[in-house]
């Protein structure tokens, strides 16, 4: 019995040391540099928000402003394929979300007020807001609170209220496993498992050839936003339902749904598009929650073509917002 206990303790100690070593390695990874359409490395600006929290903001390109809003635990790095594509014709502004509510009201509207503060800081009067997942309701709420500052909306794999009934217990239990195996196992095994998660539609993976890009993203990007921060952000939204105010939004909107997204399903996107007064709805086959990575070319082409149509249809020239 003693020998068995010693072996168990030894194995646990080795496993713990391995996990701690992998975690430290992941945290020590420098973020992948973001680049503009000319291939130049972009250094973030720091913008101080209400309450004193400072967030990094990527700014690239010239022209009408397009703001890229990340999801619950993401940052501007999630838009690694969109920033170079859009910055050829637009002034791209990609802020991180606040992580600290000290000194401010802990409410969902605070994220919209933060966006207004970022636009003021970079000298942009108005912008088209592109929101991914949790960034979508932030974009919609901003358009409600500041209608003259939002000249368009691009919403992808997003939500207008919290509803987890479709996720199911099995998938809920598998999410932490998928996250863990995407961070702490040897890379060849991680890649094999990530393809398996893609076939099951678990977490951010999807059953497309572009899933390899998502795997690379997960391997390259350390977890810099703790789940506790994501939970605090979601707490501000759990009692919100934006559907009642969407009919009042008159801005042109593009709603993009991934047909394989199991967390913000295409039915939600279809509902949001139906509630908006001036929307275009598009589905991307086999696209999962991060289709803007796995289907980057298709996604960027859709967005660029739609933005061009909006600019042609606008009777008054959009603000240039160039620095």
Instruction: CATH number of the domain at 155, please.
Output: 3.40.50.1820
**Within a domain: residue 110?**
yes
pLDDT of residue 46: 96
pLDDT, averaged across the chain? 87
Contact of 202 with 175, CB cutoff 8 Å? yes
pLDDT of residue 220: 79
Q: Any idea which of 38-47, 91-100, 201-210, 245-254 has the lowest mean pLDDT? A: 201-210
Mean pLDDT score, 123-140: 97
**Within a domain: residue 177?**
no
Residue 184 clears pLDDT 90, i.e. is over it: no
Q: Any idea which of 21-25, 206-210, 223-227 has the lowest mean pLDDT? A: 21-25
**Within a domain: residue 261?**
yes
**Within a domain: residue 145?**
yes
pLDDT per residue over 216-275, tens digit each?
888 877 666 777 888 889 999 999 999 999 999 999 999 999 999 988 999 999 999 999
Residue 14 clears pLDDT 50, i.e. is over it: no
Residue 11 clears pLDDT 90, i.e. is over it: no
> How far apart (Å, rounded) are the C-alpha atoms in residues 240 and 69?
19
pLDDT of residue 302: 98
**Within a domain: residue 280?**
yes
Distances (CA, A) of 39 to 33, 140, 149, 160, 305: 10, 31, 30, 36, 22
pLDDT of residue 112: 97
pLDDT of residue 26: 56
- pTM, rounded to two decimals: 0.89
**Within a domain: residue 94?**
yes
**Within a domain: residue 158?**
yes
> How far apart (Å, rounded) are the C-alpha atoms in residues 156 and 263?
12
> How far apart (Å, rounded) are the C-alpha atoms in residues 251 and 278?
7
Q: Tell how strand 65-69 and strand 253-258 pair up.
A: unpaired
**Within a domain: residue 209?**
no
Residue 86 clears pLDDT 80, i.e. is over it: yes
pLDDT of residue 100: 85
The domain in which residue 250 lies consists of 45-165+223-313
pLDDT per residue over 37-54, tens digit each?
999 999 999 999 999 999
Mean pLDDT score, 280-293: 96
Tally of structural domains, the chain: 1
């Amino acid at each position: 019995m003693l020998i068995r206990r010693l072996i168990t303790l030894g194995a646990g100690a080795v496993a713990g040391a391995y996990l701690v070593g992998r975690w430290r390695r992941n945290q020590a990874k420098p973020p992948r540099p973001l680049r503009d359409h000319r291939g130049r490395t972009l250094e973030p600006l720091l913008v101080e928000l209400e309450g004193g929290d400072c967030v990094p903001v990527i700014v690239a390109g010239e022209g009408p402003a397009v703001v890229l809003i990340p999801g619950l635990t993401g940052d501007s790095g999630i838009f690694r394929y969109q920033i170079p594509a859009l910055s050829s014709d637009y002034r791209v502004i990609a802020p991180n979300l606040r992580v600290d509510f000290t000194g401010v009201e802990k409410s969902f509207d605070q994220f919209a007020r933060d966006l207004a503060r970022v636009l003021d800081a970079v000298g942009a009067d108005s912008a088209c807001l592109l929101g991914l997942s949790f960034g979508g309701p932030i974009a919609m709420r901003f358009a409600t609170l500041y209608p003259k500052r939002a000249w368009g909306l691009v919403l992808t794999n997003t939500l207008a209220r919290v509803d987890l009934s479709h996720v199911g217990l099995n998938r809920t239990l598998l999410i932490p496993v998928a996250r863990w195996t995407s961070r702490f196992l040897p890379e060849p095994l991680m890649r094999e498992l990530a393809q398996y998660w893609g076939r099951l539609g678990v977490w951010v993976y999807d059953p497309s050839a572009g899933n390899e890009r998502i795997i690379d993203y997960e391997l390259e990007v350390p977890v810099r936003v703790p789940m506790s921060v994501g939970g605090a952000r979601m707490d501000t939204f759990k009692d919100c339902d934006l559907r009642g105010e969407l009919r009042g939004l008159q801005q042109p909107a593009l709603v993009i749904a991934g047909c394989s997204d199991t967390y913000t399903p295409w039915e939600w996107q279809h509902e949001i598009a139906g509630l908006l007064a001036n929307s275009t709805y598009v589905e991307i086959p086999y696209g999962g929650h991060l289709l803007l990575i796995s289907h980057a070319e298709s996604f960027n082409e859709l967005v660029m073509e739609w933005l061009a149509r909006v600019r042609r249809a606008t009777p008054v020239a959009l603000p240039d917002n160039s620095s």
